[in-house]
Amino acid sequence: MKKKRISIFGATGSVGQNTLDLIGRDRQSYEIVVLSGGSNIDLLIKAALEFEPQVVVAATNDQLDELKNALSKTQVEVGIGRAALLESASRKCDLAFSAIVGAAGLEPGLIALENGADLALANKESMVAAGSLVKQKAIESKCNLIPVDSEHSAIFQALQGENVNAIERVILTASGGAFRDWPLDKIAQATPEQASTHPNWNMGQRITIDSASMFNKALEIIEAKELFSLSSEQIEVLVHPQSYVHAIVGFCDGGMMAHLGPPDMRHAIGYALNYPNRKTLQLENLDFAKIGSLTFMAPDKERFPAIGLAYEVMSLGGISGAVFNAAKETTLDGFLSKQIGFLEMCPIVEKTIVKLCHVENCHKLEANLINILDIDKMARNIAAELIRMQRS
Ligand code: NDP
Ligand code: MG
């Protein structure tokens, strides 16, 4: 059987490592083309020695010698920096995992699509910042966009064999994150350490903090709108503390399809890895008799205002998602470096949207890559300035 050629952008991250875990259990089915990492050079070397990709790419120059030395006895090519990352994305593969965190993941995904690879999309920021562009590339190249985010994988799976025009609504579930039950005055004092623990999922630090602020759900609302061409009115959010139901699709005849599974990303990753087939993954199964009951509640939009911002961004349309995401990434950096408090993130993101979209109308620019990267930069600068003003 022909091996499936896989590239993984963000191989040293949480999604990347889970993907390699699944590939490692079924080595004969896959061949690795690219493994890219950021600064975690030890993990990148370990993965490169184990999987012997065609090329391995790290982020910064000071890693070059270490990487070259470690791989000197192998056939693995070594690349460093952004240009090498983008070049590696053009290498022929069947399926590229977009698992870099942040808007930095957009371009490798677009290039992979342009070069004929199906895209396993964990990087939700791509759809938020540039949904129409990503979809356009996929259509032009006749490639599949396969969601990896658990909620979107759930919707994608529930829609197999269905007519998307029959969708009435889509419900994204949310665990509620680390501060689900915290009062506002306590959330205001939250530290990065407290925000970096998730009750159910084991993920990278940035998405974990975004889960605590519900910015993650806000991004996912926009991601769902873009991926499945929904209207904002069709998308709802329900807090479901157990994280067993990942999403529910309601159809026009009143029938609803829910997708369930343990909170383990390897289910969604395995589905994308083997799409359109399914393979035995040998992961934990849910025991409903033990679980007993599932609970759901409406999200508290006062304590978690990021959800409201997602609807604001969807009504603005255009490339406002790029502003939203870039401002969100910048305020997260501000919170991580303790320049601003947890509850100061949302107002700064909102002010950035007001300035660039409501006042300057930049979101109405054509949704091409140059404009998206430009507006991303502008939003980062404005949000960074607002953070500075907040401190002074
Ligand atoms: P991690 O922070 O764990 O990993 C991010 C990866 O991207 C690492 O390999 C990191 O390298 C690399 N990276 C970071 N910045 C850059 C950059 N500027 N250039 C090149 N590479 C870079 O993130 P996650 O795995 O948690 O998330 C990845 C994506 O998947 C995100 O978009 C997230 O929202 C999405 N996602 C994640 C889920 C999860 O379970 N983790 C669930 C659903 C979606 P290094 O670590 O070596 O510095
Ligand atoms: Mg998710």
319-334 pLDDT tens trace:
999 999 999 999 999 9
9 CA distance to ligand 1 centroid (A)? 9
| pLDDT per position as a tens digit, 355-384 | 999 999 999 999 999 999 999 999 999 999
240 CA distance to ligand 2 centroid (A)? 13
Q: CA 312 to CA 294: how far, in whole Å?
A: 31
Q: Which of 198, 200, 207 to mutate to test the pocket of ligand 1 (most atoms within 8 A of CB)?
A: 207
Q: Which DSSP letter does residue 187 get?
A: H
Q: Is the CB of residue 108 below 6 angstroms from any atom belonging to ligand 1? A: no
Question: What is the model's pLDDT at position 275?
Answer: 98
Nearest CA to ligand 1 atom 39: 203
User: In whole angstroms, how far apart are CA 290 and each of 261, 286, 294?
Assistant: 14, 9, 11
DSSP 251-304: ETTS-EEEEE--S-THHHHHHHHHTTS----------HHHH-----B---TTT-
Residue whose pair of structure tokens reads 């709802």 in the numeric block: 236
Tell me which residue of 221, 244, 241 sits closest to 298, measured CA to CA: 241
| 111-138 core/surface letters (b: 16 or more CB in 10 A; e: else) | bbbebebbbbbbbbbbbbbbbbbbbebb
Question: What is the model's pLDDT at position 188?
Answer: 97
Q: Which amino acid is at 23?
A: I
Residue 44 CA: nearest ligand 1 atom is 47
User: Token pair of 129, please?
Assistant: 């910042």
151 CA distance to ligand 2 centroid (A)? 5
Q: Which ligand is nearest to the CA of 224?
A: 2
Question: What is the model's pLDDT at position 260?
Answer: 98
User: In whole angstroms, how far apart are CA 130 and each of 107, 200, 210, 231, 316?
Assistant: 10, 29, 19, 17, 14
334 CA distance to ligand 1 centroid (A)? 18
Nearest CA to ligand 1 atom 8: 13
Q: Which ligand is nearest to the CA of 263?
A: 1
Q: Which DSSP letter does residue 157 get?
A: H
| 212-246 core/surface letters (b: 16 or more CB in 10 A; e: else) | bbbbbbbbbbbbbbbbbebebebbebbbbbbbbbb
Helix, strand, coil % over all residues of the chain, rounded to 5: 50, 15, 35
Residues of the chain with pLDDT under 70: none
Q: Which amino acid is at 383?
A: A
Question: What is the model's pLDDT at position 199?
Answer: 87
Q: CA 333 to CA 162: how far, in whole Å?
A: 41
Residue 43 CA: nearest ligand 1 atom is 47
Helix or strand or coil: residue 147?
A: strand
Nearest CA to ligand 1 atom 30: 122
Nearest CA to ligand 1 atom 26: 204
CB-facing half-sphere around the CA of 103: CA atoms within 13 A: 23
Strands 245-251 and 167-174: antiparallel
CB-facing half-sphere around the CA of 352: CA atoms within 13 A: 33
Instruction: Tell the burial category of 334 from Cβ atoms under 10 Å away from its Cβ (0-12, 13-18, 19+).
Output: buried
Phi/psi at 242 (5° precision): -80, -20
Q: Which DSSP letter does residue 2 get?
A: P
Nearest CA to ligand 1 atom 2: 204
By the 8 A CB rule, do 239 and 143 touch? no
Helix or strand or coil: residue 349?
A: helix
Handedness of CA 124, 315, 168, 213 (dihedral sign): positive
- In angstroms, how far is CA 156 from the centroid of its own chain? 15
Residue 201 CA: nearest ligand 1 atom is 40
Q: In what order do the strands lie in the sheet with 256-260?
A: 235-239, 167-174, 245-251, 256-260
Phi/psi at 269 (5° precision): -65, -45
What residues are neighbours of ligand 2 (ion), with CB under 5 Å? 149-151
389 CA distance to ligand 2 centroid (A)? 33
Helix or strand or coil: residue 210?
A: helix
By the 8 A CB rule, do 143 and 113 touch? yes
- The pTM score is 0.98
Q: Is the CB of residue 203 below 6 angstroms from any atom belonging to ligand 1? A: yes
Residue 206 CA: nearest ligand 1 atom is 2
